[in-house]
Amino acid sequence: MTDVVAPSPSFPAGISMGDAVQAQARSRRAHIIAVTSGKGGVGKTFVSVNLAAALTRHGYKVLVLDADLGLANLDVVLNLNPKITLHDVFTGRSSLDEAILPTAGGYSVLLAGSGMIEYSRLTPEIRTQFMRTIELLAPRYDIILLDTGAGISDVVLFSVSLATEVLVVATPEPTSLTDAYAAIKVLATQQKRQQIRLVINQAQRPGDGRAITSQLQQVLNRFVSTASGQPLRLSHLGDIPIDPAVREAVMRRQLLLQAMPGAPASLAVAQLANKIKAVLTTGA
């Protein structure tokens, strides 16, 4: 596969561009994709875990890293009971290999601890540990999905800054779109992103996502410019329709792609994986 060329991000106060450039310059194999959102509760983690399963079916070696360091919930979604988390790796109590777990979807996960106040803000120690973890993981995988927190906190922005591709998940609900726009604007201005990809979850009708993307692009064209002076390109990656099978799978703590592979939402996630494969193959 051909590596996607990473953008040249700028960073919130306290984050060194030199640190990230140094990390990205090291030899690595993995494509790092951040799955983020402006607002919580839009299905970001659902997208991450099922997309990982779909990408695994394409033959990729995939890791999902729980980058929501203080409010982690990947373990709940995947019905895992980890004894070792990223917190144990950061504190030196366990090795990275001990913390990586296999999943029923055929990919690996690295879970973060939940309810830990020390991860609510980005400190130099957390930044260093997180970057070191990415450096160690990158040569081992084809794709690393960073399941970030929601919003524009320094921890979220730093996590996203390490990715070559950014997927923003939103729903058609007005507050979700408002917060998605705010997140996209910050990523464009602070990290100098040239392109961000949008996934609309819980779409009510075919074509909703394209219409929403077009509307957001018009606003971005008016108010947001990239480092080159050109408007940021917001690409519609795809829609996931409202589907009762999603809630059923979530309540059962199962991967939708495994439990109900023929469900409309499963088929939509499979299409997202197809498009990501094309992006990673061609760099388009």
pLDDT for residue 23 is more than 80: no
Q: Please report which confidence band the pLDDT of residue 137 belongs to, taking 50, 70 and 90 as the band edges.
A: very high
pLDDT of residue 16: 38
| Length of the chain (residues) | 284
The tens digit of pLDDT for each residue in 88-121 reads 898 889 999 999 999 999 999 999 866 555 666 7
pTM: 0.87
| pLDDT given for residue 223 in this prediction | 86
Residue type, 201: N
pLDDT tens by residue, 154-180: 989 999 999 999 999 999 999 999 999
Could you give the CA distance from residue 45 to residue 40 in angstroms, rounded to a whole number? 10
Report yes or no: 35 and 169 within 8 Å, Cβ to Cβ: yes
CB-based contacts of 272, cutoff 8 Å, min separation 6: 47, 51, 54, 199, 237, 238, 240
List the one residue out of 237, 166, 218 whose CA is nearest residue 7. Answer: 166
Tokens of 211: 């219409």
Model pLDDT, residue 116: 57
Rounded to whole angstroms, the Cα distance separating 174 from 52 reads 28
DSSP readout, the chain?
-PPPPPP-----TT--HHHHHHHHHS---PEEEEEEESSSSSSHHHHHHHHHHHHHHTT--EEEEE---SB--HHHHTT---SS-HHHHHTTSS-HHHHEEE-TTSSEEEPPPBS-GGGSS--HHHHHHHHHHHHHHGGG-SEEEEEEEES--HHHHHHHHT-SEEEEEE-SSHHHHHHHHHHHHHHHHHS--SEEEEEEEEESSTTHHHHHHHHHHHHHHHH---TTSSPPEEEEEEEEE--HHHHHHHHHT--HHHH-TTSHHHHHHHHHHHHHHHHHHH--
Bridge partner list, 200:
170, 239
Q: What is the pLDDT of residue 120?
A: 64
Least confidently predicted of 3-7, 105-109, 257-261: 3-7
pLDDT tops 60 at residue 11? no
Closest C-alpha to 85, from 48, 119, 55, 110: 110
Q: How far is CA 165 from the centre of its chain?
A: 9
Task: Report CA torsion sign: 212, 171, 68, 65.
Answer: negative
- Tokens 């990947």 locate to 74
> Looking at this protein, which amino acid is placed at residue 215?
Q
Mean pLDDT, residues 128-146 taken together: 95
Mean local confidence (pLDDT), 257-271: 97
208: which 2 tokens? 């909703």
Using only the alpha carbons of the chain, give its radius of gyration: 18
Question: pLDDT digits over 35-82, tens only?
Answer: 999 999 999 999 999 999 999 999 999 999 999 876 767 888 898 888
